[in-house]
Amino acid sequence: MRSVGSAAVFTASFLLVTACGRGDDVPATEGVEPAPDTMAGMEGMPGMQTGDASMMDRMNTHMAMMRAIGGDSIMAVLATHRQMVANMIAQMNREMRDMQMPTDAAWDATVDSLRSDLTRMPEMSDAELQAMMPQHDRRVTRLMEMHTGMMGRMSR
């Protein structure tokens, strides 16, 4: 049986994830500071306006929420998390392909690791999932930083 505290955390997490996944009519980053320099060098680039900034902001907000919750709350939002990360990878790959930007070994390794995470996560216990989340979080953050850096270099 869940305690009142767990139910409150789950409800707040669910509402945050739901808001993060909705369109531009809901401010996904209200009250949350995005990671510094996530979009540095991307201003004014074709295809890098509000859609990409919005995706990055939503993912930063989502990952902050994932760091703040634990236990059964992570399990409750796992399907949404997996979809958001998969969508982020697909969008980043599409943007890079559209700009004829080659990937490198570090990019490919990070994407492969994230895809492996997404495949393994549903099979994990609560404890296993909590134990792997810090490394997963670092991989998500690293991919966003690499994407930002690669896009910034293309604008020079």
Summarize pLDDT for 36-65 with one digit per residue, the tens: 333 333 333 333 333 467 888 999 999 999
Given this model, what pLDDT does residue 143 score?
96
**CB atoms near residue 139 (< 10 Å):** 19
Residues 156 and 144: their CA atoms lie apart, in Å, by: 19
Task: Tokens for 71, please give them.
Answer: 């236990």
- What value does the mean pLDDT take over residues 101-119? 95
Contact 17, 77 (CB under 8 A): yes
Residue 13 clears pLDDT 80, i.e. is over it:
no
Share of the chain above pLDDT 70, in %: 65
